[in-house]
Every structure is written in C-alpha cells, then in structure tokens.
Structure 1
Amino acid sequence: MTSLALLATALLFGGMILYSFGFAAFLFSALPAAQAGKLLRRAFPHFYLFVLAASALSALLLVGADASGAWLMGLVALTVIPARQVLMPAINEATVTGHTKRFKVLHGLSVALTLCHIAATAAVLVGFT
C-alpha cells in the first residue's frame, strides 16, 4: 500500500509541476495570448479534477502509513474544490468582463493556492525517504 501511496503522490506532484510550469508556459509561447488564455481556461477544470482525484487517492492510501501525509493530501483535496467551483469561475468572469485588477488578485490567489498544493505534496514525498 505504501508503494501505491508513493506513486499516487508522485503522480500528483509531477502533474501539478508539468501543468503549472510546462503546459501553461508552452501555450503562451506557442499561441497568441488571447488563444492561449482561452485554451488554458478550458483545461483548468480538468486540471482541478486531476488534483482532486490524485490527492484524494493519495490521502486514502496514506491513512494507515502516514497520518500527517494523509492529512496534507486530504487538505489538498478539500481546498481544490472551492478553487474549481468558486475561484476559477470568478477568474474567468473577470477575464471576460475585462476587470483586470480583479483578475490579477484572483489569479494571484489561484497561483498561491497551487504553489501551496505543490509544497504540501512535496512535503509528503520527502516523508517517504
């Protein structure tokens, strides 16, 4: 079970890193900003579902082996729900309506939350050593 927990946690960490620093950067280098932003907004719901599923699975697999790791992964799973259901639609609305200042604040919050998710996942991975 510990090996599966490690794999689920590593998948989550790698997926978040790739999406946040690879996919998003690639889109903005390969497409005009308006098209890249539009495509990224379409991809985000799937990203959040991935984070929810992988973090919940990791939490469940860690329950018997690492209580603090299970708690952290559970926290990631719980906090991604309002990010997907509330924060993401608010960011999209600010983009569509041209509220640049609101977009910057909400986007900054989204980035900070994702960085916290990455840090929490990294902490759990370090615990496997």
Structure 2
Amino acid sequence: MLEFALLVTALMFGGTTLYSFGFAAFVFTALPAETAGPLIRRAFPYFYLFVLATSAVAAILLIARDPISSASMGVIAVTTVFARQVLMPAINAATDSGDKSRFKRLHTLSVVITLAHIGCAAFVIIRLAGQS
C-alpha cells in the first residue's frame, strides 16, 4: 500500500510539474495569445481534477500508515477544490472583464498554490521514500 501511495503521489508531483512548467509555457510560446488563452482555460478544469483525484487517493492510502503525509495530501486536495471552484472562475471573470490588476493578483495566488502543491508533494515523496 505504501508503494502505491508513493506512486500516486509521484504521479501528482510529476503531472503538476509538467503541466505548470511544460504544457502551459509551451502553449503560450507555440500559439498566439488569442488561441493559447482559451486553450489553457479549457484545460485547467481537467488539470485540477487530476490534482484533486491523485491527492485524495494518496491521502486515503496514507491514513493508517503515515498521518502526516496523509494530511499533507489532504490539504492539497482541499486547496485544489478551492482553486478549481472559486479561484479559477474568478480569474476567468477578471480576464473577461479586462480587469488586469485583479487577474494578476488572482493568477499569482493560483501560481503560489500550485507551487505549494508541488513542494508539499515533494515533501511527501521524500518522506515516503525514507519509509520504504
């Protein structure tokens, strides 16, 4: 069970890192802004579902074995719900209304949350690797 939790956490870490630093950056350099923006907007709900599913599964798998890692992955799941259901629609509304200042603040918050998710998942991976 620990090995599966480690793999699921690593999947979440790798997927989040690839999406954030690979896919999103690539889309904005490969496509014009008027195409890249809507594409990223369509992809983000699925990205958040991926993060939510993998972090929740890892949290459940770790409850009995490592409560600290379980809680860490649970925090990722909860904050992902916030990011998907509250923050993402607010970012989209700021974009649609042309409110660049609000967009910048909200987007910065979403980046900070994603970086925290990556860091938290890395902490759990290192912690679990030491237990195996």
Q: TM-score range by the shorter chain?
A: over 0.9
User: Is structure 2 residue 109 aligned with structure 1 residue 99?
Assistant: no
Structure 1 vs Structure 2: percent identity of aligned residues? 59
Inter-partner Cα distance in structure 2 for 1:13 and 1:102: 28
The equivalent of 1:84 in structure 2 is 84
Secondary structure at 1:65 match in 2 = coil
TM-score (norm 1): 0.98
Inter-partner Cα distance in structure 2 for 1:103 and 1:39: 17
Write the mapping of 1:25-104 to structure 2, written as runs, cut at 5 A.
25-104=25-104
Q: Which range is displaced more, 60-69 or 47-56?
A: 60-69
Q: Which amino acid aligns with 1:59?
A: A
After TM superposition, give the deviation of residue 29 of structure 1 in Å.
1.2
Deviation sequence 1:7-63 (CA, Å, 0-9, x none) = 100000000000000000110111001211110011000000000000000001111
Q: Which amino acid aligns with 1:108?
A: T
Inter-partner Cα distance in structure 1 for 2:34 and 2:13: 28
Tell me how many residue pairs correspond in the alignment: 129
Deviation sequence 1:43-93 (CA, Å, 0-9, x none) = 000000000000000001111221100000001001111110010000001
The equivalent of 2:113 in structure 1 is 113
Q: 5+ residue gaps in structure 1?
A: none
Inter-partner Cα distance in structure 2 for 1:63 and 1:85: 26
Hey, which bits of structure 1, 4+ residues long, moved more than 6 A?
A: none
Q: Which amino acid aligns with 1:41?
A: R
After TM superposition, give the deviation of residue 95 of structure 1 in Å.
0.6
After TM superposition, give the deviation of residue 116 of structure 1 in Å.
0.6
TM-score (norm 2): 0.96
Q: Say what the alpha-carbon RMSD is for the aligned residues.
A: 0.7
